[in-house]
Amino acid sequence: MKNRSLALFIFMLFISGLAFASSPEDLKQKFADALNASSQQNYDKAKTLLEEIIAAAPNFAEAYYYLGLVYKEQGNMEKSAEVFNQAVDKNPQCAECYDNLSKYYYMLKDFDKAAEFGNKAVLLKPGLTSSHLTLGWVYLLGKEDPDSAIDHFKIVTDQGNIKYALLGLGMAYYMTNQNFKTLEMITRLRNIQEDKLAQQLEEAIRKGPYQKPPKQEDAAPAVDKEPVPVPESPNDQTGASQPKPLGKSYKVRLRAPYQTGAHTTITDDLSNQDTVTGEDRVKMLQQQGKDLKISY
């Protein structure tokens, strides 16, 4: 673990104004032990140690951050979000905390809050690709704003061929009648052997230009749309959640992402659905995440 986190830890101990039963050095060692337990997937031990640290030093934001990751790994998403909120109360500059909250609300399909926290994250760290990827899908599916989605997806795809960013960007280009750019995304998807995702975009183009349907009083609200997997790193092609340590101070290994159902891929064969319009095909594409693994 890097010295910055430990130095910050000691500093927070002193400014907390509390009397400790153990010395700051003992608490510093307890923090290191908690992070080591997390890296070894001993989450119960890590949680106990972090809770003890928070009781002794309630202003130490990093302890809340790592405790949030522990709850997240244990599948307690509601408690995880509660702790991340406590972390930003202690440190409003914690971009990674806002990033995790954005993914949490995306998972709940509360796209307004997902956008709120995601935008806070990228305001603090403009290059935080994890948040840009989440925001891309929030604007595309939740807010039906493909122009804003393009801005965020492009930041991610400029870093590499991330399959769900390429898919989202291709969909957004199609929805804004920029099919020549959709073709570029198809090529990039095929270059990384994601032929079925590329086929989805090809079929959309083949059915004609996208026309935004008129709003209807009885139309299903955007919140009913299902999210698709959001990989957290430009190097993550699987959609699985990976940890983002605060300030890159320590790497915590998280293995079992949250799932809403069986882990599948977008494999529906749309080529046989000859009667589907281009407009309907985008709707179908937007629903493809229904049985996909949702990474939070």
Question: What 3 state SS string does 42-106 have?
Answer: CHHHHHHHHHHHHHHCCCCHHHHHHHHHHHHHCCCHHHHHHHHHHHHHHCCCCHHHHHHHHHHHH
Highest mean pLDDT among 16-20, 209-213, 216-220, 255-259: 209-213
Q: Is the pTM of this model over 0.75?
A: no
Number of separate domains in the chain = 1
**Does 60 reside within a domain?**
yes
**Does 245 reside within a domain?**
no
**Does 77 reside within a domain?**
yes
**Does 162 reside within a domain?**
no
pLDDT confidence of residue 227: 57
Cα separation, 45 vs 50, in Å, equals 9
Asked whether the beta carbons of 83 and 71 are under 8 A apart, the reply is yes
How do residues 5-63 score in pLDDT, each as one tens digit?
555 554 454 444 444 445 678 788 888 999 999 999 999 999 999 999 899 888 888 89
How do residues 75-128 score in pLDDT, each as one tens digit?
999 999 999 999 999 999 999 999 999 999 999 999 999 999 999 999 999 999
| Radius of gyration of the chain, Cα coordinates, nearest whole angstrom | 21
Q: What is the CATH number of the domain that holds 3?
A: 1.25.40.10
**Does 257 reside within a domain?**
no
Asked whether the beta carbons of 168 and 230 are under 8 A apart, the reply is no
**Does 210 reside within a domain?**
no
Full domain range(s) for residue 38:
1-9+22-91
